[in-house]
Structure 1
């Protein structure tokens, strides 16, 4: 009995080893279907090959231990055990090949969004397969099933003839060494932003190797300053941004640009009582009442504001040193570009990602508290305005942090009561009365408004409003359980309250008005490039947005990052793709929608559009 068990176990184990090798080869073929091939070097090939084996080993041995081994221990005959394993491995092989086609077209792997897409009405109109294509697909599927049957037969043949002492140890040791090699290479490659390693990692489906960037920096193995240099020295880009060279018609006179950005700005505070200075200024400007950020957090919100693209492209920009078109064009036009950040621009690495070519950039601001730093950045900007001689136009980005920190001196808590003195997140639940917490937040926003008021007064006093564009907005929203489902803060969902921000747009000779159509952060860069720098290209050449003045639909608005993103429909419906790959559809109150009619043709159009700035494989 034991001899039979050992024989079957050995044969099944060899079957799994052979299937691992076959699946690894299928994974390896992925690299030839995209632009990642352009970045490969010896280290990249070594890493990718070992990663393919490591990832395949994981996929193959899970069913071996979960199905084959228990079935054998239950005393089932070998042919039944082999039949189950053959079916599972055949499915994995077919899935791997199918996924390679999906990745080649959409630049991401099969996930809930794709499955929803394939089962939506109209999918048959998009995926029209000819008889020849169906035959080809059937042939490939039959071939993969035949491959599995052949591997099963080969495992039986080899198990009867192999006589190796310590067989399992000698078989598993190389696999562990291969896995160790791939993980070690990724740990170092990720820390040093080695393009061949980082880019090839994205090719493998749902492969999440180890990272230890912070630990390596703390141990001194990777120098932080050198790391920043390495991170931005790559010259090859995986993105095609802009899609076409920009052309411009030089304006008659140069306009200055001032962007006043409030971190975590809830639109309910845009009132005469809470933000009197901003509210009054909005009456002289265009006030966009349905403005949506490009994300629910700072990283994606600021990225979308400056690049005109979703943070879906963040990694590609970071790895390849791609700079925002807006900043590059401003520098080319002779602008003095400066940032006034309350929180550091080192993390997220905005200093390098958005302002790499700006000399003398303010990266940090002195001050022990957010209130002190917000006050200081205002003082710094006003001081620079006093020194301004008018010879060169300027672009200034002033980024307030107080509303994000929700931390303010007790002496400033008088305006809105009752108010908490400090945040106590442990008190928050779905039954918590949000009033005192929201009043604390409103007191913080009111202080920011007073600082914004000083800035606006200075611009007016110096006569700069005659030749300066001013935008006042936030990087993302801040939720206070408005939907009564226990969501507080930001970065936890893509509801209106975490993505909506006020948007005030002033330019000389503008006609004050409230614009009640949807606009987005992707519209900021195109508007400034066209209005201020005279760029003639259509916004689609360098952004996902439109001009703010364009009232046409912005349905299917993309928010989030590469792993966790969502499309927000015009009616507030949220089609959310989560990190694990599953899809969730919610209404504007964050309630799940079980049956939602997705138009497959439109969804295909949207997915292709969100990937259009990636480089296409050269034929």
Structure 2
């Protein structure tokens, strides 16, 4: 009723003309600009401002971009003003502005936790995977509801205020001129900084949502305004991010030369989502640790190829950089070693406690496998983990003595969801209700980490049942067992207020356990650096009868049994990727910007990586595409 009364007065005093509706809508959108600025202040805490000039540029970008973000829904509202009556227009404006500002607030929260912005992939994962991927506490839901309600009141107050009194329409022109001037200045400045390799400027833009700054290298060099001899190595770093897929996929790059293996060993791959490397410890994983110490090769310096399930899982199955994900998903091309298993008539059993739809493993790693369960039943992750364990034990119990060899894949989710049964013993102090809004630089991670460790202990019990079953059925004499994870998990390990995964390339998020049981090989600990990209070539060359085909035909990795202490690796996230060396991280972004950090995420003054490393990594990122110039 409070909204209707002012609107009736507005109708009585002003005729409902298109011009008046457009003027009101335009000023309503401009009134939302300061709100967007206030919300976006949180992004500033992640930006380094070493000098006054950088601060001036940041001020321009801040004003220009968040004004633009306020105007994106405004274009829709202005179009409605042409056709919608005044009373309906005002109501729609209030609702749309509330949702738009709420989305910006959500992005600030995502970025503070994970250091990446909301994207189409994240919304797809939320819709398709639901609680299998994201865990939301009641505090988050309550905060979201209160935030939307507060925004709704603010937007209603703005709308009512503008119906009573608003600036003259002539001032709209001045407001638009100021808006476009900041846009032009910010993009021009970035174009110059990009051409002159001013990383102080170009490194800031990745923190700003939906910001795609202008570049003009060829023009500025062509006009002679920028000296062409600016660091060749820096231009090589830029080239590293400039490759594009051309005509399609070239995978494998040559026909596989394979022979029937002397034996066809069973292969069981056990992956625990979000399992850190330091969890392979008798305190947290007693069953797996005992099995590993007594029977297996333990790779103590092993890295995933990504800091997310999508990227890490891709590197595990394909042995390739995650930058190839899109083309493999589009073509639904399975990994070479999965296709080889099918050639050899392996019986395949895929059991995942998480959905295989998002990320789309059913269209990539398992694209050639029929009859897999895409989404398991069960509300809680611990229930689904229990389900896949029981399903696996039923599978081995029903196999006959003359059955074909099997490939099994078990993917556990309880550690990712910090999920355990109500009566499972807790490690104290224990965080009973996870509230991500409480995570900040001063938060004590101990109760949170203990909840994670408790979930690790629970999964260890389930894996222990699987390993004991293999022993009791005497399957270990002819079964390769691989136990690892898709990525790690961070609890502010580096003191940079990072929590979870998917946000950086430090050891906390990339380093994972790697336990390899191989019949006939003695237990040992290998300390050289290894990677998920080594798994496909190890299986192909040492188990599946393809030793004569070079690993580089289908992977960028090498056989784990052939010593190769990697000087560099490529890791990916959702949209960016990095060259990971023993001491440094060279992170590149889709817009062409890059950052150089040490392994503790501090800015590094080191020189660029050697020319050979850049060249080899660039080849790895493009080798499996068909290119028109070939």
TM-score of the two chains, using structure 1 as the length reference? 0.63
Moved more, 485-494 or 609-618: 609-618
2:552 is equivalent to residue 427 of structure 1: no
- Spell out, residue by residue over 1:188-246, the C-alpha distance to the aligned partner (whole angstroms, 9 max, x if none): xxxxxxxxxxxxx968xxxxxxxxxxxxxxxxxxxxxxxxxxxxxxxx97121111111
2:234, 2:608 within 8 Å by CA — same for their partners in 1? no
Residue number in structure 2 paired with 1:253: 263
2:387 is equivalent to residue 269 of structure 1: no
Aligned residue among 540, 546, 552 for 2:558: 546
Residue number in structure 2 paired with 1:94: 219
User: Within 5 A, what are the aligned runs for 1:393-408?
Assistant: 393-408=405-420
SS of structure 2 residue aligned to 1:554: coil
Residue number in structure 1 paired with 2:184: 66
SS of structure 2 residue aligned to 1:312: helix
Q: How many residues align?
A: 413
Distance 1:510 1:95, change over 3 A: farther
User: Within 5 A, what are the aligned runs for 1:102-141?
Assistant: 118-119=233-234
2:538 is equivalent to residue 523 of structure 1: no
Q: Distance in 1 between matches of 2:183 and 2:457?
A: 60
How far does residue 278 in structure 1 lie from its aligned partner after superposition? 0.6
SS of structure 1 residue aligned to 2:565: coil
SS of structure 1 residue aligned to 2:423: helix
Residue number in structure 1 paired with 2:324: 313
2:395 is equivalent to residue 384 of structure 1: yes
SS of structure 2 residue aligned to 1:316: helix
Distance 1:596 1:455, change over 3 A: same
2:466 is equivalent to residue 351 of structure 1: no
Q: Distance in 2 between matches of 1:476 and 1:241?
A: 25
Unaligned runs of 5+ in 2: 1-178, 189-213, 224-228
- Spell out, residue by residue over 1:67-86, the C-alpha distance to the aligned partner (whole angstroms, 9 max, x if none): 7xx9xxxxxxxxxxxxxxxx
Distance 1:63 1:607, change over 3 A: farther
Distance 1:93 1:592, change over 3 A: closer
Distance 1:307 1:119, change over 3 A: closer
2:503, 2:573 within 8 Å by CA — same for their partners in 1? no
Q: Distance in 2 between matches of 1:449 and 1:116?
A: 51
2:585, 2:596 within 8 Å by CA — same for their partners in 1? yes
Distance 1:94 1:348, change over 3 A: same
2:344 is equivalent to residue 333 of structure 1: yes
How far does residue 289 in structure 1 lie from its aligned partner after superposition? 0.3
Aligned residue among 567, 580, 603 for 1:555: 567
2:311, 2:574 within 8 Å by CA — same for their partners in 1? no
2:247, 2:625 within 8 Å by CA — same for their partners in 1? no
How far does residue 609 in structure 1 lie from its aligned partner after superposition? 2.9
- Spell out, residue by residue over 1:516-563, the C-alpha distance to the aligned partner (whole angstroms, 9 max, x if none): 011100011111111221112111111010111222231220000584
Moved more, 353-362 or 511-520: 353-362
1:238, 1:316 within 8 Å by CA — same for their partners in 2? yes
1:117, 1:603 within 8 Å by CA — same for their partners in 2? no
1:267, 1:502 within 8 Å by CA — same for their partners in 2? yes
2:544 is equivalent to residue 533 of structure 1: yes
Distance 1:616 1:96, change over 3 A: farther
2:502, 2:574 within 8 Å by CA — same for their partners in 1? no
Aligned residue among 593, 597, 603 for 2:604: 593
- Spell out, residue by residue over 1:477-521, the C-alpha distance to the aligned partner (whole angstroms, 9 max, x if none): 011111111111100101111011000000111110000011100
2:482, 2:517 within 8 Å by CA — same for their partners in 1? yes
Residue number in structure 1 paired with 2:313: 302
1:413, 1:421 within 8 Å by CA — same for their partners in 2? no
Q: Distance in 2 between matches of 1:517 and 1:485?
A: 28
Q: Distance in 2 between matches of 1:337 and 1:95?
A: 57
Distance 1:601 1:360, change over 3 A: closer
- Spell out, residue by residue over 1:276-305, the C-alpha distance to the aligned partner (whole angstroms, 9 max, x if none): 011011111000000000100000111111
1:555, 1:569 within 8 Å by CA — same for their partners in 2? yes
Distance 1:570 1:115, change over 3 A: farther
Q: Distance in 1 between matches of 2:481 and 2:319?
A: 18
How far does residue 425 in structure 1 lie from its aligned partner after superposition? 1.4
How far does residue 580 in structure 1 lie from its aligned partner after superposition? 3.1
SS of structure 2 residue aligned to 1:313: helix
User: Within 5 A, what are the aligned runs for 1:487-506?
Assistant: 487-506=498-517
Residue number in structure 1 paired with 2:585: 574
- Spell out, residue by residue over 1:97-128, the C-alpha distance to the aligned partner (whole angstroms, 9 max, x if none): 99xxxxxxxxxxxxxxx9875348x99xx9xx
How far does residue 582 in structure 1 lie from its aligned partner after superposition? 1.1
1:310, 1:561 within 8 Å by CA — same for their partners in 2? no
User: Within 5 A, what are the aligned runs for 1:366-515?
Assistant: 366-389=377-400, 390-414=402-426, 416-515=427-526
Q: Distance in 2 between matches of 1:504 and 1:496?
A: 18
Residue number in structure 2 paired with 1:239: 249
Runs of 4+ in structure 1 over 6 Å off: 61-65, 95-98
2:296, 2:523 within 8 Å by CA — same for their partners in 1? yes
Distance 1:600 1:391, change over 3 A: same
- Spell out, residue by residue over 1:403-444, the C-alpha distance to the aligned partner (whole angstroms, 9 max, x if none): 001122332143x21111232212211222111111100000
SS of structure 1 residue aligned to 2:442: coil
How far does residue 366 in structure 1 lie from its aligned partner after superposition? 1.6
Unaligned runs of 5+ in 1: 1-60, 71-88, 99-113, 127-200, 204-235
1:272, 1:280 within 8 Å by CA — same for their partners in 2? yes
Q: Distance in 1 between matches of 2:232 and 2:492?
A: 32
SS of structure 1 residue aligned to 2:312: helix
Q: Distance in 1 between matches of 2:422 and 2:435?
A: 15
Distance 1:65 1:272, change over 3 A: closer
Residue number in structure 1 paired with 2:617: 606
Residue number in structure 2 paired with 1:365: 376
2:349, 2:408 within 8 Å by CA — same for their partners in 1? yes
SS of structure 1 residue aligned to 2:301: strand
Distance 1:90 1:617, change over 3 A: closer
Q: Distance in 2 between matches of 1:499 and 1:360?
A: 32
Q: CA RMSD in A?
A: 2.9
